[in-house]
Amino acid sequence: MQYETPILLPRKRQLSRKKIAPSVECFLVTMLFVIAVQGTYLAYVVGILTNLERRFGISSKKSGSLLSFYDIGHTVSVVLIGFLANDKHLPRITATGVLLSAVSMFVLALPMLLFGAESSDEASLSHEHEYILRNICDPARVINSAEKNCELQEKEHFWAFCILIIGQILAGIAAAPFNTVAYVYVDNNLEDKTKSPFYLSLLSSMYAFAPAFGFALSAVITRLYSTIFDVPSNVSVNNDEWIGAWWLGFVIFGLFYLAAIVPLLFFPKNLLKHDSSSFEMQQLRNKCSHDHDDHQLSLFGYDERLKETFCGQLKAAVIEFPGLVKNRVFISMIIGWMFGSYLTSGYCTYLPKYIETQFGHSASVADTYAGIVSIGSIAVSTALGGYLLTKFNPSPRKALLFLIATWFIIVITYLVGAIVGCNAPQVKELLIAAINQEKFIDKLECSFECQCTQVDFFNPVNHHARNYFSPCHAGCREYNSHLQKWDLCLCADNGPVETGLYTDECNAIFIYIASMFMGLFLGNLFFMTTMMIVLRSVYDDEKVLALSFASCTTNIMGFIPGPIIFGWIIDEDCLLWHSKCPHDHGNCVIYDNKAFRQSFHLTSAGFQFLAVISVVICYIFSRKFTFPEEERKEEMYDEYVEKQADGSYVVQTIS
């Protein structure tokens, strides 16, 4: 009995250690949290885009390029990780990516710390006295030169935009391990490989549903003023000069990323007892399915293979690549996938801005509606379609027919969207050109003597369905601080005016959201066919290269240029730019709603129609194409017939 105590105590300690030991499930939960943060961030940036445009005078084309820098960093990083991270400590690489993600979030919030909540010109408007002096009708107003303020504002906007670019590139680079290295680590460390599809589908599904949190968060945060507490009395959520606390979300994401680093540091290189590198395991798989002549790396020793991993993989990729390019089914499917990606990179990116502009809603309401369309229809539809493809397992050719039909529904949906909309608010004597204050005020006889030349801040007011650029342009000579209204306005028969733009009552938003939701839901049901065709049209040893090539092509030709192309098209529909400086383009405050509606949806329909044509071509090629899985079935069938022929009897009927 004296020996029982020292024997039992270590066992209890061992059991307790085993309970808290790292496992695949723990790693999975940690990565689900990380991917949730990343997916939330991606949608959040889209949700606050109009706030960034207002704060730093960014045009839609520049904001589109800002989003594209994320994909540029991500594409380069994914390629490098695919070659260099094969035999490395995968959890540490993932932890490094999480740490760099946290840094990128704080970099994105840095312009708030460096330049404050408002620009130097707008800051004075936070103080009521200055606000009144800048907007009141004053015949004795002194015309001052604003060159110094222009120089400061241009520098501020330039450096802020550069910092945001750096943050986006870092975020793209840092996110590369999340959908590559993390997937490999989970798959390699599962003893029961049948669980792998389920575990990996959990990670993929988080990418689909996490953006819902991003739109929800942006809807809440954009209702908070940029300073959170010190809100000017003359500004409200529905005002055009309202700027939400855009920076707050980045700080939250950065803190979440920092919290996720800690558990990742405790995971070993391999969770399974046997320690074999992914390269060696891949070589064993290849050895079982291919001849030695097809894999020259297997001729070298284990140590030499580790040294030549990068060069060997690069050489193998170069050898296999011409075969992929000659595969017409594979290439036509990638082209269709590329054009189809403009749904996300173009339409969904600017959907919140479109709803806010077209239907006159605040940024928070626009984010909510955009989340319903983008996540409620597209994400749910894609997940449901993946389930249907798994359950019924149609042949590649039948799946292509389903994809053609559903993608054509998206084209029709865009054409419907080009019809449903609201009229743009009309500003009194506003010229359809870049703003020219001198020409603008000379035509307003009622406020001709108010000296409004220097009133360059767009602060619209309205009276009897007529909009004016500012209270000065309406001839207002008094401001009621209690009611926060302008009074004694010459253009309003010496009466008061309402703040903000007057817009005709329009309830088309409900028709628009309903039609887009249903159309995109049906149209994305068989989107996973693209992935299915890419993987089934190549041999097993070509799948990694094929998927990498497809992802890179889609990023370079779809996700990267998409926001820039749509941003450029949207800028062409601008009627009034908010900028007093000649070299600072500024942001658009009034669009030609009809032109915006038509160009936005017809461009989307054009890209989607090209995607449909590409899939039709893919289907035509597939009719004379033998898929690898069909080759395997034919080989098995021939072998079966030979065995029967060599036996004691012969089967006469073949079915």
Rounded distance, CA 130 to CA 123, Å? 10
| Stretch among 97-101, 302-306, 510-514 having the lowest mean pLDDT | 302-306
Is the same domain home to 317 and 393?
yes
Q: pLDDT at residue 33 above 90?
A: yes
What rounded mean pLDDT belongs to the chain? 78
Where among 459, 477, 499 does a domain terminate?
499
Indicate the range of 329-333, 452-456, 604-608 predicted with least confidence: 452-456
Greater model confidence, 97 or 642: 97
pLDDT of residue 543: 72
Residues 282 and 270 in one domain: no
Say whether both 224 and 288 belong to one domain: no
pLDDT the model gives residue 104:
96
Q: Element (H or E) spanning 591, and its range? A: strand 587-591
Identify the pLDDT of residue 212: 83
Confidence bin at 76 (pLDDT 50/70/90)? confident
Q: Choose between 249 and 129: higher pLDDT.
A: 249
Total domain count, the chain: 4
Tell me if 84 is assigned to some domain: yes
With cut-offs at 50, 70 and 90, classify the pLDDT of residue 162: very high
Whether residue 602 is contained in a domain is answered as yes
User: Which whole number is the average pLDDT over 388-406?
Assistant: 88
Which region holds residue 347: left if phi is over 0, alpha if psi is between -120 and 50, else beta? alpha
What one-character-per-residue DSSP string does 146-200 give?
A: -HHHHHHHHHHHHHHHHHHHHHHHHHHHHTGGGGTHHHHHHHHT-SSGGGHHHHH
> Could you tell me which residues come within 8 angstroms of residue 159 by beta carbon, excluding any fewer than 6 positions away?
114, 115
Residue 479: strand, helix, or coil: strand
Q: Residue 400: name the closest of 522, 500, 284, 527 by CA.
A: 527
- The CA–CA distances, whole Å, from 198 to 158, 201, 202, 205, 652 equal 47, 5, 6, 10, 43
- Of the pLDDT bands very low, low, confident and very high (cuts 50, 70, 90), residue 574 is confident
The pLDDT of residue 515? 94
pLDDT band, residue 371 (cuts 50/70/90): confident
Query: Are 470 and 531 part of one and the same domain?
Result: no
Do 200 and 104 belong to one domain?
yes
Within a domain: 512: yes
Is 329 inside a domain boundary?
yes
Residues 439, 441, 444, 449, Cα dihedral to 10° = -130
Q: Is residue 475 part of a domain?
A: yes
User: How many whole angstroms separate alpha carbon 370 and alpha carbon 376?
Assistant: 9
Instruction: Work out the average pLDDT over 324-351.
Output: 91
Count of Cβ atoms closer than 10 Å to residue 26 Cβ: 16
Matching residue, tokens 């312009």: 111
On the question of pLDDT at 5 being above 70, the answer is no
Q: Which two tokens stand for residue 373?
A: 């369309």
Nearest residue to 138 via CA among 472, 446, 469, 438: 472
Task: Please say if the pLDDT value at position 18 is more than 80.
Answer: no
Tell me the C-alpha distance between 123 and 125, whole Å: 5
pLDDT at 596 over 70: yes
Does position 621 have pLDDT exceeding 70, yes or no? yes
Of the two residues 432 and 217, the one the predictor is more confident about is: 217
Q: Span 333-342, mean pLDDT?
A: 93
Cα(163)–Cα(533) distance, rounded to whole angstroms? 40
Does residue 34 sit in the same domain as residue 93? yes
Query: Is 238 among the domain residues?
Result: yes
Q: How confident is the model at residue 280 (pLDDT cuts 50, 70, 90)?
A: very low
Q: Which residues pair with 489 in a beta bridge?
A: 476, 495
Same domain membership, residue 598 and residue 514: yes
Closest-CA residue to 205 (of 332, 387, 60): 387
Residue 520 tokens read as: 């995109």
Are the C-beta atoms of residues 333 and 534 closer than 8 Å to each other? Answer: yes
> Cβ–Cβ contacts within 10 Å for residue 326, how many?
9
Domain assignment present for residue 377? The answer is yes
Instruction: Tell me, yes or no, whether 375 and 351 share the same domain.
Output: yes
> CA geometry: angle at 25 spanning 19 and 31, to 5°?
125
User: How far is 379 from 42, CA to CA, in rounded Å?
Assistant: 14
Closest to 432 measured CA to CA, from 567, 595, 278: 595
Please check the confidence at residue 265 and state whether its pLDDT lies above 80: yes
Q: Rounded CA gap, 264 and 31, in Å?
A: 9
Could you tell me which residues come within 8 angstroms of residue 639 by beta carbon, excluding any fewer than 6 positions away?
Answer: none
Task: Rounding to the nearest 10 degrees, give the CA dihedral for residues 292, 297, 300, 303.
Answer: -140
- Token pair for 561: 């240029």
Q: Confidence class of residue 169 from pLDDT cuts 50, 70 and 90? A: very high
So what's the pLDDT on residue 196? Answer: 65
Residue 410 confidence (pLDDT): 96
Q: Is residue 84 pLDDT above 90, yes or no?
A: no
The confidence score (pLDDT) of residue 476 equals 92
pLDDT of residue 171: 95
Cα–Cα distance measured from residue 565 to residue 573, given in angstroms and rounded to the nearest whole number: 13
The reported pLDDT for the residue numbered 568 is 93
Is the pLDDT assigned to residue 136 strictly greater than 80? yes
Adjacent-strand bridge partners of 546: none
613 and 566 within one domain: yes
Are 163 and 252 part of one and the same domain? yes
At residue 300, the pLDDT reads: 39
CATH code at position 527: 1.20.1250.20
The whole-model pTM stands at 0.76
Q: Say whether both 82 and 97 belong to one domain.
A: yes
**What mean pLDDT is predicted for residues 218-236?**
79
- pLDDT-based confidence at residue 409 (cuts at 50, 70, 90): very high
Going by pLDDT thresholds of 50, 70 and 90, the confidence category of residue 87 is: low
Same domain for 167 and 66: yes
Euclidean distance between CA atoms 634 and 641, whole angstroms:
11
Least-confidence region, from 181-185, 301-305, 446-450, 602-606:
301-305
The predicted pLDDT at position 564 comes to: 92
Q: How far apart are CA 575 and CA 476, in angstroms?
A: 24
Q: pLDDT tens-digit profile of 507-542?
A: 889 999 999 999 999 998 888 888 888 878 888 777
Is 180 domain-assigned? yes
Cα torsion angle, 469, 475, 477, 483, sign: negative
Helix (H, G, I), strand (E, B) or coil at 302: helix
Residue 162 tokens read as 């550069």
Domain that holds residue 299: 277-307
Task: Quote the CA–CA distance of 366 and 47 in Å, as a whole number.
Answer: 8
Q: What span, in angstroms and rounded, lies between the C-alpha atoms of 206 and 35?
A: 7
Query: How many whole angstroms from its chain centre is CA 655?
Result: 50
Q: What is the mean pLDDT of residues 195-214?
A: 77
In percent, the amount of the chain with pLDDT more than 90 equals 27
Q: List the alpha helices (DSSP H) in 116-146.
A: 120-123, 128-135
Q: Which of 344, 338, 417, 410 is CA-nearest to residue 379? A: 344
Please give the pLDDT value at position 340.
92
- Given pLDDT bands bounded at 50, 70 and 90, which one contains residue 197? low
- Nearest CA among 328, 310, 407, 336 for reference residue 553: 336
291 pLDDT higher than 50:
no
By mean pLDDT, which of 39-48, 487-496, 625-634 is the weakest? 625-634
For residue 329, the model assigns a pLDDT of: 92
For the ranges 130-134, 534-538, 550-554, which has the lowest average pLDDT? 130-134
Please provide residue 105's backbone torsions phi and psi, each rounded to the nearest 5 degrees. Answer: -65, -40
- What is the per-residue pLDDT for 61? 86
Among 85-94, 172-181, 644-653, the range scoring the smallest mean pLDDT is: 644-653
